Chains A and B, each alone.
Chain A
């Protein structure tokens, strides 16, 4: 096994070149045998299922991305000292190396311990609180950027610099797909819009585009160009594919030895299958009424003009469960879109923000955990919840909170995590992680580890370097929550 510190001394690349050089001799049948069609390089089948580094039960990951940065001290990170000192002025680092006085803002939420584990959850998330014993809450994460753009990119790709593969791409690359008829890495967006930096967040960076996230739309066509823009019925599309491939077969017959031509013929067949498999995955009509009710699909949008209620996110969570059942590896759902109060970016009032967004996720997330559990899928599915950073204990403007990458909370559930765990601490005000601090590299390492991969071994040779999600520093899984 290669040690972490020899990361720049790779020998992997030799293997790569040999593999590349040997390709044309590989039998066609081997190339086309059961590999992922959604993305297949002509040179090798990139999404063919690959064995994990260690045997695990986990097959899929659902990453619930709370875009904007949810407020840890109003949801999971109970800070009685902060409540007590509400209104006092303290000096805190509010932007990088910018220490300023600020007025402490205690959480207005009511707090209680839940379940056997006694996890603290505020009354903003009453339904999720019921699943406290399923959660492993990490309260001591930190990252490197106070700004959304680079923080988002870092949470997704490990770097504050754009151009590196996102975590879903790494998982797709490392494990391949289990379902040839669906993409292995699916992204769903908030109806209010995408997150800032848009598709850079699910980019495959320097890896082939085959590994990038596919936006699966719960509104409109699920996949771009899935239907004919002219509205041809399916039988006409079938005829078009059959006729093209009849002609392609003649072309292929005159060019033996070029398996990419065969692969391309197959890609049309797979495209056709996708035209039914993608809508099928999104079709909730066969789901029980009680299930839809549980996810909040029947609940109206409440109160605030920007609030959507639980139905849209609930729909996406339910779709995520269906995708897990269909073997999709990595599903990332962005909750919150656009700007300011349209997402968790609570500069303009944290209470207002919680009022908008907590009801949107509370029932759906709780239903997802219950649903996965009752179907026996929770062990096979890692659920991750969190944003690009947390928020400050001091007030901004009129009861708002500013960005804070120095200490924030994530929770995980299922997938082999130690359920009912609270791990790590921020200081008494919730500003900075102080005990069991972990850089988000370790969060990434934990996700990869739980998915069966060695975060320090999973590498991709690019730019003269064995690149890794956890970077040159390397990282260890957070053992205490596994």
Chain B
């Protein structure tokens, strides 16, 4: 380690004292020092030149120390960086004087120090307090206080007259200023589709559209809204919006990404809260302090899992830092979700935009300080991360009864909970085995007195600063938190104090943030575009009076979100057409900030998938629970270090549930959802991105899910429209697009059906086999997959086998790709005779094989195999068995994507292989398998297609192996269904 040698300074006489007086008056200079220099010293120098150590008798943690210099003399010469030891040291120009010794400062930092010395090293006076942390006085200026979002709601703004909807009043007023007006109303069909997708995320049935189009009663539209708000699907739709903000996931993330047990209870809580129209203030309170509420319920305890949704590293490098990372996650998420504040910015330094000093960050953090850190313990009475799904009082009572104690403290004692600090946990109090409770993910504190909270200098858990008490941000409130804690309480009551403050009608942010979020999902963007940042770095509201008017109505309406939907959706602004074709509108307001038209919007990932299921009639409405595991193909699983570990195989009925119930695993995003801009699951998502990318097209064209749904849709069309193409086309349009096709569209679709029927007729003898499994699989996942999920092919007439996989290593099995998954036809046997087919290899195929005289031995095969190797352009004849033996091989042209005829002929011990009717291999097996056997197919890497696969037993008629596919007309109908799902009109809502 290079050590800066102590050199007596010849510059001792040149001290900096002369400039002190000037420097102390230098406000911008001191500002520079506080902003750039002091934090730099704190980060890089204090550990050796601070309170604990004073290497070279130098202290850099106070102006006095900096001025005094060390045993080598002063560290700077005011105004002359070239003569300043400090600058020499950090520049690394002198081999013997290099600081910091281990990590060179960045060029920028060196430049800042140099500039500071040149400025005359401005600093506060010596008698200013010694700073272990930057003590720059944080002033909340009048301008800070004047920021719009910190003002109380303006309730006295004009609201329009009489019956005019306040939304329309404010929107048209602004439009008028620009000489604009609202668009004409949307059509009835457009309107009902818009309402359905907005409120429940599913399309209406054709009959519902027809009824609405006919119903001319004045309240017909309101009835539709009321109906939709009463459906359980409403909570599934709007709950999902909230889950984006709450960074909901069911796993921990990081290396193991294990399941976070019972996280789904939070998802179910959120859905129910929306369905019940739980007053939003209460919703906020329950998530922050559902366990501390005087009227806590099982539900409110489950709500606290909001605070447990963050990523969790079960092997953190720095445990103490990880503890504060977890607290930061809760505080930052709560700030963004409930108040639209980027509080996390003040973790390491004072907030750069908003008047939140670092100290206040820690004062806010103090509200959560008592929460016990999450651990990997299983649910149980002692576990930090879980609580019984019951009112805390009931649990307390039960525990007391178990202990044979008299009645516990009465409910009036405040903070409820089954454990208290005063009564240490005794083993007989914790009998999880006979516990009558169900469990939920939740927060727990360990008593009424949390550990002290200290400012962490530069956010570093190892450098603690001053102790702070829970307090609200000064810019928002001068109020002191009203924290009451009972003598033997199980928690500090702090979160309840914070929750009460946030959910109070006086809080200027809470209602504004939520009405903005609701607005965002009705118009595509918020009145404040930055829905999680109402600070000065966020964008200002386009319609501040409207925002306040909605927020006031929200509060006055008892924080009812459903009422808010009605208010917005009944406005003409919401109901106007989305057509964006007026030149004057484009000229005056190209971004549509003023809402001269409603916005055309693309469905979110879940709504796309759910709508497909709904239109095909497959949607399974079952609600709640742990959720289902979408099928993930081998290519997707291959990205995991133990492919398939902890993933499950769900039934097809389960897989037809709504997307909100798809298991959310942080390191295994479901590709269908992810491709359509699913949320990021690690931090609060202000809005979903809307990207338009080629993988989305590939997904809708080619994914197995889409093809299965096309089959289901075709069945539905046959049931409901019969077998006449025109009727089928009409019905498909009505179900998917809620309208009849135009004559031109009908013709396009009918022509398509005809062409497809022809194309499928040409393919009617085609058999397709395709491997669908990762080359490595977790041992626990391996047996969950049926053999037909290793290799996919015709559903009937074939048996499937896994092939040979190496024994487990580190919980993983790896395929032997030479002898991987295969299938045997069950329709006929062959000993002597021939097998022929036209073979097509897809480009990814690594090895494909045609099997004969074959029999399954467990998951493996005994028999002969013609192995096609397109990469090496080689054909091999192999005898398969426990140890496959190559009998003969030859170079051969094996084109990709072009069919070639292949024939194998066998008689007794002789085998002959013909390619394009040319004999390419001929051999006599010295250890022959002379027995009747099955024919079969093997492929690894990619799909192989066989046309006209035929058995020719010696002296008998050929037996064609049927494809098992439905008739060409049915396949054509299925591809019509696929076509409809690929229309823009299906994905976009007018």
Contact = CB atoms under 8 A, between A and B. Distances in A.
- A and B interact: yes
Most buried by A among B103, B591, B698, B987: B698
A244 B693 contact: no
A251 interface: yes
Interface string A125-151: 000000000000000000011111111
Interface string A234-269: 111101110110111011100111101101110110
Contact of A227 (B677, B812, B943): B943
B142 to A, nearest CB: 20
B361 to A, nearest CB: 13
A247 B591 CA distance: 27
A144 B1 contact: no
B814 A192 contact: yes
A463 B344 contact: yes
A215 B675 CA distance: 13
B342 A464 contact: yes
B116 to A, nearest CB: 12
Contacts of B766: 231
B776 interface: yes
B639 A219 contact: no
A223 interface: yes
A5 B975 CA distance: 58
A91 to B, nearest CB: 16
Chain A: interface residue count, which band? 35 or more
Given A38-B695, A339-B641, A434 B1 contact: yes
Nearest to B643: A193
A117 to B, nearest CB: 23
Interface in A1-31: 3-5, 8-10, 13, 17, 20-25
A333 to B, nearest CB: 13
Contacts of A229: 702-704, 707, 770
Contacts of A192: 775-776, 812, 814
Interface in B719-777: 742, 744-745, 748, 752, 755-756, 759, 763, 766, 768, 770-771, 774-776
B112 A5 contact: yes
A217 B695 CA distance: 15
A257 B642 CA distance: 48
B581 interface: yes
A147 B529 contact: no
Interface stretch (A104-112, A199-207, A323-331, A413-421): A199-207
A411 interface: no
B715 to A, nearest CB: 16
Contact of B254 (A189, A197, A215, A260): A197
A189 B591 contact: no
A260 B641 contact: no
Given A38-B694, A193-B643, A217-B638, A230 B707 contact: yes
B581 A339 contact: no
Interface stretch (A160-168, A374-382, A390-398): A160-168
Contacts of B257: 197-198
Interface in B326-354: 332, 336, 342, 344-345, 348-349, 352-354
B586 A475 contact: no
Nearest to A306: B809
B317 A13 contact: no
B104 interface: yes
B774 to A, nearest CB: 8
A196 B643 CA distance: 10
Contacts of A241: 697, 701
Given A163-B683, A198-B667, A255-B600, A149 B315 contact: yes
Interface stretch (A41-49, A56-64, A78-86): A41-49
B2 interface: yes
Contacts of B635: 215, 217, 220-221, 224
A261 B988 contact: yes
B863 interface: no
A103 interface: no
A263 B692 contact: yes
Nearest to A242: B752
A200 to B, nearest CB: 5
Contacts of A193: 638, 640-643, 774, 776, 812
B90 to A, nearest CB: 13
A473 B842 CA distance: 50
Given A147-B317, A162-B253, A223 B698 contact: yes
A198 B316 contact: no
A474 interface: yes
B694 A274 contact: yes
Nearest to A148: B255
Contact of B682 (A144, A162, A243, A306): A162
A179 B249 CA distance: 35
A100 to B, nearest CB: 16
A279 to B, nearest CB: 4
A195 B581 CA distance: 51
A147 B316 contact: yes
A208 B679 CA distance: 9
Given A9-B352, A222-B844, A200 B693 contact: no
A480 to B, nearest CB: 11
B730 to A, nearest CB: 15
Interface string A285-329: 100000000000000000001100000000000000000000000
A437 B770 CA distance: 51
B691 A39 contact: yes
Given A24-B592, A145-B317, A224 B698 contact: yes
B428 to A, nearest CB: 37
Nearest to B354: A464
B639 A24 contact: no
Contact of A25 (B256, B316, B586, B642): B586
Contact of B759 (A42, A225, A236): A236
B311 interface: yes
Contact of A161 (B311, B580, B639, B942): B311
Interface stretch (B273-281, B414-422, B531-539, B547-555): B531-539
Nearest to B842: A227
Contact of A144 (B317, B683, B776, B941): B317
Q: Quick one: which of A199, A282, A305 has the most chain B CB within 10 A?
A: A199
B698 A274 contact: yes
A23 B529 CA distance: 15
Contacts of B669: 199
Interface centre among A200, A229, A337 (most CB of B within 10 A): A229
Interface in B932-990: 941-943, 945, 975, 978-979, 982-985, 987-988, 990
Given A153-B254, A191-B775, A225 B695 contact: yes
B426 interface: no
B920 interface: no
Nearest to A275: B698
A476 B109 CA distance: 10
A472 interface: yes
Most buried by B among A145, A244, A456: A244
Which of B591, B638, B748 has its CB near the most chain A CB atoms (within 10 A)?
B638
Contacts of B643: 193-194
Given A255-B990, A260-B692, 12 more contacts: A43-B690, A149-B254, A149-B315, A197-B255, A229-B707, A239-B752, A251-B983, A251-B985, A267-B692, A270-B697, A463-B332, A475-B106
18 contacts: A149-B313, A163-B682, A191-B776, A193-B641, A194-B638, A198-B640, A219-B846, A219-B941, A228-B702, A229-B707, A236-B756, A240-B982, A243-B752, A244-B979, A264-B697, A434-B1, A464-B342, A464-B537
Interface of A: 3-5, 8-10, 13, 17, 20-25, 37-43, 46, 96, 144-153, 160-163, 189, 191-200, 203, 205-206, 208-210, 214-215, 217, 219-237, 239-241, 243-244, 246-248, 250-252, 255-258, 260-261, 263-265, 267-268, 270-271, 274, 279, 282-285, 305-306, 337-340, 342, 427, 434-437, 439, 456, 463-465, 472-476
Closest 4 pairs between A and B when the two form their complex, measured CB to CB? A149-B255, A464-B342, A25-B590, A163-B682
